[in-house]
């Protein structure tokens, strides 16, 4: 059963008339993780921001986006705002951009949760403390009293994951959430996303150009190139018997990098990431 259905999604620049995504259709199954992969500029992030109706002014869209049978494209902005966060949650690529730099991160957390649930300060603090501890953040109270620039990218991503745990949305959209992180932080954050799905049973759209991460987390995969979906299938099919030449190129490029790294390390057998 599909929790989200996207039909004939077209995205274009209203100033230049350039069509960026000519017409995409796909669905996300209940409880599954759909990865959208492709090189930079392929339209991955624009597609997911279109689902949230968060693309910049001047970027227009048409088509239907059905969430549990409700067409999100027809909702007034006031109603759409109520669904963002509580029902559809987006975790951004750069954690620093998700928080107001002039306030400690706890202000953002309290405003978000008070808006959706009407909870008081003490209840919000208690729930966030538990959630932050569950994603391995030490001393959550101290962290909530820090400014974004005082925290690492990995810590900011974990805070957003903790907030998602408290919000309990039906769909989590993660837009390149590991790109700005070092290798160790990438591994740890991906593990947190896997645990997030296990704890909540939510559906997920995971945008990435890193096929190693996609292979680990995704059930189904869409491959985008120049704004179009050129391939799709289960994770197993995409990585073992992809139909499209571009997909095979992406997979072989990732494998070539892995093999090169193993040779540099003296042929040590490594777990593929």
> What's the pLDDT score for residue 180?
72
pLDDT band for 267, please (50, 70, 90 cuts). Answer: low
In a domain, 235, yes or no: yes
Rounded-to-integer distance, Cα 188 and Cα 204, Å: 18
Average pLDDT on 18-31 reads 95
259 pLDDT more than 60: no
CA dihedral sign of residues 7, 30, 243, 178? positive
Alpha carbon 42 to its chain centroid, in Å, reads 16
Distance CA 189, CA 216 (A): 12
The share of the chain scoring above pLDDT 70, in percent, equals 93
Predicted confidence at residue 263, as pLDDT, reads 57
* Under 8 Å between Cβ of 167 and 85: yes
The whole-angstrom separation of Cα 247 and Cα 153 is 30
Residue 273 covered by a domain: no
In which element (H, E) is residue 105 found? helix 105-117
Angle subtended by helix axes 153-167 and 121-134, to nearest 10: 120
How many distinct structural domains can be found in the chain?
1
Count CB-CB contacts under 10 A for residue 130. 13
Q: Please indicate, yes or no, if residue 175 is contained in any of the structural domains.
A: yes
Does some domain include residue 233?
A: yes
> Would you say residue 132 has pLDDT above 90?
yes
Q: Which residue has the tokens 């693309």?
A: 55
- Dump pLDDT digits (tens) for 135-186: 889 999 999 999 999 999 889 989 999 999 999 999 999 998 887 778 778 8
Give Rg (Cα) of the chain: 19
Dist CA 148 CA 150 (whole Å): 5
Model pLDDT for residues 31-88, shown as the tens digit of each residue:
999 999 988 889 999 999 999 999 998 999 999 999 999 999 999 999 999 999 889 9
Neighbours of 25 (CB within 10 A): 12
Which of 131-135, 184-188, 253-257 has the weakest average pLDDT?
A: 253-257
Average pLDDT over the chain reads 89
Domain extent at residue 99: 2-264
CATH number at residue 142: 3.40.50.300
Query: What is each CA distance from 223 to 2, 44, 54, 126, 207, in whole angstroms?
Result: 19, 9, 22, 41, 10
User: Would 109 be classed as within a structural domain?
Assistant: yes
Query: Cα separation of 137 and 45, whole Å?
Result: 28
| Domain annotation covers residue 269 | no
């Amino acid at each position: 059963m599909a929790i989200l259905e996207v039909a004939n999604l077209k995205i274009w620049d209203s100033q230049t008339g350039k069509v960026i995504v000519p017409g995409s259709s796909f669905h996300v199954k209940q409880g599954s993780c759909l990865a959208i992969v492709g090189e930079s500029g392929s339209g991955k992030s624009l597609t997911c921001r279109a689902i949230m109706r968060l693309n910049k002014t001047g970027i227009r869209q048409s088509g239907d986006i059905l969430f549990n049978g409700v067409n999100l494209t027809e909702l007034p902005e006031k109603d759409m705002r109520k669904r963002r966060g509580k029902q559809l949650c987006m975790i951004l690529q750069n954690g620093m951009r998700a928080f107001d730099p002039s306030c400690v991160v706890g202000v953002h957390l309290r405003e978000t949760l008070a808006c959706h649930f009407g909870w008081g300060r003490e209840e919000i603090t208690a729930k966030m403390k538990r959630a932050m501890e569950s994603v391995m953040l030490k001393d959550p109270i101290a962290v909530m009293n820090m400014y974004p620039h005082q925290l690492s990218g990995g810590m900011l991503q974990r805070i957003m994951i903790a907030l998602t745990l408290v919000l309990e949305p039906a769909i989590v959209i993660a837009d390149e959430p590991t790109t700005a992180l070092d290798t160790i932080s990438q591994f740890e954050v991906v593990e947190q996303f896997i645990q997030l799905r296990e704890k909540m049973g939510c559906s997920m759209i995971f945008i990435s150009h890193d096929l190693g991460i996609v292979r680990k987390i995704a059930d189904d995969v869409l491959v985008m190139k120049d704004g179009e979906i050129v391939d799709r299938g289960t994770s197993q099919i995409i990585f073992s018997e992809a139909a499209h030449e571009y997909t095979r190129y992406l997979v072989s490029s990732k494998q070539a990098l892995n093999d090169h790294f193993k040779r540099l390390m003296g042929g040590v057998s490594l777990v593929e990431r």
